[in-house]
Amino acid sequence: MATNTLSTENKFTWGGGKSPFSVSYGKLMMWIFLLSDAFTFSSLLIAYGFIRYSFQSPIHNEIVKPLAHVADNFVEQMQQAGLFLQDHWPSPELVFNHFPFVHGVHLPLFFVSLMTFILIFSSVTMVLAVEAGHRMAKDEVAKYMLLTIIGGAAFLGCQAWEWTTFIGEGARLYENPYGPRSFAALFFIVTGFHGMHVFSGVVLNVIIYLNVLNNTYEKRGHYEMVEKVGLYWHFVDLVWVFVFTFYYLI
């Protein structure tokens, strides 16, 4: 029988012969990587909080109600109505009001909520794959890994659509029709950095999925690799929870 990699780890990795945290070396390093990655994201969100509060709060919108009709020149109308000003942070409900295939209707935050649910759901399928891995149920692991990949790809598609809409309305890294310039710059940097993480997560998931199909982990005797990539995937979901909170709600 193939030697268990974990048993060799016991001999050489730890000076005391045993992990002080009762987790394998790879998993511990994944946790430490995630902590450092959390610092990177925190620095972006802290910068966001700082810049957001160095501008005045959004002006309360009493003109556009949910489900109201939205004209093609909505952004210009809002600028004229005094809701998009240079020294006031724009109100997220007036900026994030688009939905694919639904044109000309004010749907505040609907699309971003959908994106949040997609990511939470793909996190659930990932944790179900990890759980199936504990039982060495190869087919179930493969099934849930595939669902996770689909969820991740759907999220990336949503983000691409959202970016396209904003760029179409004139938002750039250096200019912003909704108000202060830093709003659009921060939007593209924060969601772009998160989207890059989702993309690399999907790539890792595809690699793991192919390995599962090739019986790599069946031969190795454990599905720990699924757990490690799962940790990364949940972290991406966790970051989205905070991007959602800071960018769309506050």
Partner 1 sequence: MEHTEHLEHTETPKDMKSQIWKTFWILFAFTIVDIILYFVLLSNHSMMKNWVFIILGIVKAYYIVGIFMHMKFERKSLMYMIVIPMVFVIFLVALMIIEGDFTGLLRWIK
Q: Tokens for 29?
A: 């390093």
Contact with partner 1 (CB under 8 A) among 97, 116, 182, 191: 116
Contact with partner 1 (CB under 8 A) among 124, 147, 156, 206: 124
Strands (E), 85-163: none
Smallest distance from partner 1 to CB 234, Å? 5
Contact with partner 1 (CB under 8 A) among 12, 87, 168, 219: 87
Q: Is 134 in the site for partner 1 (CB under 8 A)?
A: yes
DSSP 98: -
Query: To which H or E segment does residue 17 belong?
Result: none
Q: Smaller CB distance to partner 1: residue 93 or 169?
A: 93
Distance CA 129, CA 143 (A): 8
Angle between helix 181-213 and helix 138-168 axes, rounded to 10 deg: 160
Site string for partner 1, 218-237 (x = CB under 8 A): ---xx----x--xx--xx-x
Q: Is 104 in the site for partner 1 (CB under 8 A)?
A: no
Site string for partner 1, 174-203 (x = CB under 8 A): ------------------------------
Closest CA to 143 of 117, 228, 151, 27: 151
Rg (CA), the chain: 22
**Residue 92 · residue 249 · CB < 8 Å:** yes
Q: Is 150 in the site for partner 1 (CB under 8 A)?
A: no
Specify the long-range contacts of residues 170-173, CB closer than 8 Å, at least 24 apart.
Answer: 170/75
Q: Tokens for 79?
A: 């600028």
- Residues of this chain that interact with partner 1 (CB under 8 A) are 1, 3-4, 6-7, 9-10, 19-24, 28, 31, 34-35, 38-39, 42, 45-47, 49-58, 60-61, 87, 91, 93, 108-109, 113, 116-117, 120-121, 123-124, 126-128, 130-131, 134, 221-222, 227, 230-231, 234-235, 237-238, 241-242, 244-245, 248-250
